[in-house]
Structure 1
Amino acid sequence: MSVENVAKMQRGIVDRISELPEFILHTILSMLGTKEACRASVLSKRWFAAWSSIPVLDFRPQYIKEFEPRRYDDDMVKRFVGFIDKIMERYITRKYRITELYLMLPEVDGKIESLVDKWITFAVQNQIQKLEIWIISETKYRLPEILFSAKSLKVLAGIGIMLPFYETMGLVSLEYLILSMETVDDDMLQRIVSSCPLVELDITYKNCLNKISLPWMKEVNGGIKSCGSGMMQSSLKASQLQKLKFVCRGDLSKELPWPCNMNVVALKNLRKLELRFVPITDDVISKLSHGLVVLESLVIWKCFMLKCINISSNSLKQLRITDNSGLEKATIDAPKLLEFLCSCEVDTSLSLIQALDHCDAQFYPLCPSLVRAFWFINLKKFLTKANVFKSLEIKRLTFPGIVIEEDQLRNVGTGAPYKLRELKLLNPAKNSLVAFLNGLFWCCHPDVLSMSTDLQAAKLILSILQEKAECCEDPLKSVEVESMECPRLLSHSSVVETRLRLSW
């Protein structure tokens, strides 16, 4: 301990935080933005020393809107770029290590490009592991070729960036790549999947389609109206690829006049597949689940074309079908399924033919704006028919309106309430709580009720339950508070996490 701190100890004012090892101070500072970490450096000489060598640099404006078009000027850009360059110059001069670099720029020109090249070159030479770059303007930034020799790089993500045309790739450690298909072609994608055996691709289509033809695209009715050229089946070989995330952003997913197809042979070793906003049909989903013989994880999220899907797989362990409005029926045969998450309308027909007995099955029903008695009736029928769900989560910012007349549920003969391991409520409003709880407990009897609410709502729900309100069928016998925590105690919008044990 320093002489200075010995003196402080005698006065009872020792700064124990500043005595922490440097790597812990780095961890604390890494959780802040670069500007906030800079401000924290004035706390003491120790904090300043830690800040000046922190390996995680985050140069993203606190509010992205500051850099929206027509909301920034040349002086703002000049000051921001100058701030970044001043810090990077210190790192370059003192040869500090950079493991993560986050960079957001409103625009790029020749001068800014040369500076960014310099920053990335230094980061590559100092074992960078994660690089994320966002260019907000329409002008694209081409990454320097030295990036392809970054043997330590694990994550590369970018918007408004272009990869260099470089024959040899040395990204042997790359695990996650996020790209927009506006800035990459078939040849580049082929070299990525061939040279990076560990990579997980996150592919985004937006606005432009005529620069690439992935292995699941096919020509339909002579071409694509949005770009005026046909999209033929690609010869791309992606047999080494094990993880793929494919996203159609913006209005593109609803404007395509043709569905996506996928070449199962080209993706034969795929173990993880995530589809978001993709215009994909029921038949393709069926072919994928049956043809990808090593597929372990499948996520289908907001794919609007799906109506009636059949999923049959002997390898699938995780399946998530979420927010696919319009889905009328789903039949699932997956004998090795360990995790199943479903978010759909309560009148969707769901059949789970096979799954492991200890499969963790969760249901997130889509709540209408006005809940009537028939919604609870359909929810109960859905749970009883599926007979696989262990937890149910009502995920809305507020409870919808409740319109249930007295005895509407009591006189419906749909059998005993569904036995449930856990019922989760997210941010319930205080209006209509009694009616909503009565409706839910008529549908199911959970062993545990967990809630994320404000403190007042948590107390109100506990009071309702402790009064043993009539729940249409069997009354609630007892309520035990297992835990009540407030992770963000100092926040103005503190959320209380409550867990109640119910006995019926």
Structure 2
Amino acid sequence: MATKEIRKHRKEKGGNGPKNLGVDRISRLPDPLLHCILSSLPTIYVVRTSILAKRWRRVWISIPVLYFEEFNNVTFQGTVKNIRRRFFKFVDNFLLCRKVGNQFSRDTLVMTRFKLDMHYHSGIRITKKIDDWLKFAVGGNVEELDLRIKPSYKTRYYQIPYSTVLNSRSLTLLRLKHMKLEILFPVSLPSLKALYFKNVEFDDETLQNLISGCPIIEDLHLSMKSYSSISGVNFAACGTLRTLSLSSVKFTGEWLEDQISRLPLVERLTLDDCIGLGHFSIHSISLKSLVIDIYDTIEATFSTPNLVRFRYNFHEESIISIDAPKLLEAIIDFQLYIYTYGTWYYDLIRFLSNLSYLKKMTLSTYSEQVIIIPENVRNICRSPLPDLKHMKVKISKRDYALNKTSELKLRDALLWCAPSVETLEIV
């Protein structure tokens, strides 16, 4: 009797258990959800989903994110020359299908992002092909353009077509990597909000012409291939800027002071591996996040009443003074492995005393010996972090052979630094 009831229940549900496991529920999703799932994949894999089922045959043609990446021996197999030829052929054919699809579709096929990651081999034919691809993207009102066109050995850099990309009215994000820019005339990017350069070569005139044509830019990230100077650039045209990140560039402390004073809305400032700063003083009411990762010796004063997050790569010869009463979290990195002079611990205590009002801190170091402040130093100094409640210590090369006494010394030193600590985590 029970067996009959079970069979009846299975029949009402539409089958016998295991057969239901083969139901393709993903194919029942609407196109926007399928596009969201597929948007993180290179476009060639998106096209290959068309063989999964009849429902998938038309999905790839309307995907809003186009991502072309030149894989070596993964997507396209064979010799380097054949891989390159197949890659170019695939991109050409895909964009042709997309163009035809736009002509016969009731609704215009939307393109939100166009990403191109490839090696560049100089030549008129190849350059024209890339130019045509970018013209297609900009003509489709693309919003985000991500170009990583790395020159091959002994090959000149690819130059972005000025009239096509740098006069787009729809572009909101431009990301360039492994390229060289030379812009002799002002550009017009009225919708651009974010600009990212990584390993990009450019001069002051090029950068000035570029940012002057971005009236509503909010995020600016500059990382140059070499330590070129940007002291001739004036960021006053970027009055809407909220995030400024400078990496591997050269400028003076006076220039930085002047630029920050001209950016009343900037909330996030990152200085990474920059040179030439020396002495400088930053006063900013709007600044909320500050990252300093500089290997040169600097002497800096920060007056930032609304700062809530601070990250600093500690340099034992630098002098940092920071006034940030609302600071919630600090991350301090100690990258130097060996300290050769006895006053090192006094420098550390002096710096940490700047953050005496802090409640949460993370210390990252190569070795635990760096933060074990000797007892004779503790006997003559005040605890630098009297109000700290939460401390996390990250040790990249921790000595697990430490005996119990040494382990206690580490904890004692940390508890001396922060006598009111409630949670102490050592990883």
TM range (shorter): 0.7 to 0.9
Q: TM-score scaled to structure 2, two decimals?
A: 0.72
Match of 2:294 among 317, 321, 324: 324
Whether the 8 Å contact between 2:195 and 2:220 is mirrored in structure 1 is: no
Q: Does 1:335 align with 2:335?
A: no
Q: 1:390 to 1:60 in 2, by over 3 A?
A: farther
Whether the 8 Å contact between 1:361 and 1:388 is mirrored in structure 2 is: no
Q: Does 1:400 align with 2:376?
A: no
Q: Give the gaps of 5 or more residues in structure 2.
A: 1-12, 103-108
Give 2:287's aligned amino acid: K
Match of 2:276 among 293, 305, 317: 305
Other-structure match for 1:173: 191
State the Cα distance separating 1:387 from its structure 2 match: 1.5
Q: Does 1:369 align with 2:377?
A: no
d(CA) in 2 for partners of 1:182, 1:403: 38
Other-structure match for 2:355: 386
State the Cα distance separating 1:328 from its structure 2 match: 4.7
d(CA) in 1 for partners of 2:262, 2:136: 45
Match of 1:412 among 365, 378, 394: 378
Whether the 8 Å contact between 1:309 and 1:331 is mirrored in structure 2 is: yes
d(CA) in 1 for partners of 2:288, 2:49: 43
Match of 1:423 among 356, 374, 391: 391
Q: 1:365 to 1:64 in 2, by over 3 A?
A: farther
Other-structure match for 1:283: 254
Other-structure match for 2:161: 143
Q: 1:294 to 1:50 in 2, by over 3 A?
A: closer
Instruction: Spell out the pairing of 1:259-278 with structure 2 (5 A cutoff).
Output: 260=231, 272-278=243-249
Whether the 8 Å contact between 1:347 and 1:379 is mirrored in structure 2 is: no
Q: Give the gaps of 5 or more residues in structure 1.
A: 201-242, 452-460, 462-504
Give 2:322's aligned amino acid: L
d(CA) in 1 for partners of 2:251, 2:185: 33
Give 1:249's aligned amino acid: K
Whether the 8 Å contact between 2:184 and 2:209 is mirrored in structure 1 is: no
Q: Does 1:249 align with 2:225?
A: yes
Q: TM-score scaled to structure 1, two decimals?
A: 0.63
Q: 1:156 to 1:312 in 2, by over 3 A?
A: closer
Instruction: Spell out the pairing of 1:87-106 with structure 2 (5 A cutoff).
Output: 87-95=94-102, 96-106=109-119
Give 2:194's aligned amino acid: Y
1:407-453 Cα offsets, whole Å, 9 max, x none, are: 943773234464424333457455347365554344335444568xx
1:308-363 Cα offsets, whole Å, 9 max, x none, are: 332234x342352412223353222233444433332356433234x3x4333413
Higher RCO (CA-CA < 8 Å; seq separation 6+): 2
Instruction: State, as a whole percentage, how many aligned pairs show the same letter.
Output: 25
Q: 1:309 to 1:73 in 2, by over 3 A?
A: same
d(CA) in 2 for partners of 1:370, 1:167: 50
Whether the 8 Å contact between 2:362 and 2:391 is mirrored in structure 1 is: yes
State the Cα distance separating 1:197 from its structure 2 match: 1.4
Instruction: Spell out the pairing of 1:31-46 with structure 2 (5 A cutoff).
Output: 31-46=40-55
d(CA) in 2 for partners of 1:57, 1:121: 14
State the Cα distance separating 1:173 from its structure 2 match: 1.4
Q: 1:94 to 1:291 in 2, by over 3 A?
A: closer
d(CA) in 1 for partners of 2:232, 2:203: 20
Q: 1:12 to 1:128 in 2, by over 3 A?
A: same
SS in 2 for 1:332: strand
Q: Does 1:115 align with 2:129?
A: yes
Which one has a larger percent helix, Structure 1 or Structure 2? 2
Other-structure match for 1:208: none
Whether the 8 Å contact between 2:254 and 2:280 is mirrored in structure 1 is: yes
State the Cα distance separating 1:152 from its structure 2 match: 2.1
d(CA) in 1 for partners of 2:249, 2:272: 8
Whether the 8 Å contact between 1:384 and 1:418 is mirrored in structure 2 is: no
Q: Does 1:359 align with 2:327?
A: yes
d(CA) in 2 for partners of 1:326, 1:189: 25
State the Cα distance separating 1:79 from its structure 2 match: 1.6
State the Cα distance separating 1:81 from its structure 2 match: 0.8
Give 1:26's aligned amino acid: H
SS in 1 for 2:333: coil
Whether the 8 Å contact between 2:179 and 2:200 is mirrored in structure 1 is: no
Q: How many residues align?
A: 390
Give 2:179's aligned amino acid: G
State the Cα distance separating 1:102 from its structure 2 match: 1.0
Give 2:255's aligned amino acid: V
Give 2:94's aligned amino acid: I
d(CA) in 2 for partners of 1:404, 1:155: 43
State the Cα distance separating 1:93 from its structure 2 match: 1.6
Q: 1:358 to 1:276 in 2, by over 3 A?
A: same
State the Cα distance separating 1:77 from its structure 2 match: 1.5
Q: 1:116 to 1:294 in 2, by over 3 A?
A: closer
State the Cα distance separating 1:129 from its structure 2 match: 0.9
d(CA) in 2 for partners of 1:162, 1:278: 16
1:9-36 Cα offsets, whole Å, 9 max, x none, are: 8822123233222222211211222344
SS in 2 for 1:172: coil
Whether the 8 Å contact between 2:368 and 2:410 is mirrored in structure 1 is: no
Other-structure match for 2:67: 58
Instruction: Spell out the pairing of 1:491-502 with structure 2 (5 A cutoff).
Output: none
The answer to which of 10-19 and 127-136 deviates more is 10-19
State the Cα distance separating 1:141 from its structure 2 match: 3.8
Match of 2:24 among 15, 19, 28: 15
SS in 1 for 2:117: strand
d(CA) in 2 for partners of 1:265, 1:172: 16
RMSD of the TM alignment (CA)? Answer: 4.3
Other-structure match for 1:132: 146
Other-structure match for 1:440: 414
Match of 1:24 among 25, 29, 33: 33
d(CA) in 2 for partners of 1:86, 1:401: 58
Whether the 8 Å contact between 1:371 and 1:400 is mirrored in structure 2 is: no
Whether the 8 Å contact between 1:281 and 1:305 is mirrored in structure 2 is: yes
Whether the 8 Å contact between 1:330 and 1:349 is mirrored in structure 2 is: yes
d(CA) in 2 for partners of 1:403, 1:340: 21
d(CA) in 2 for partners of 1:27, 1:192: 32
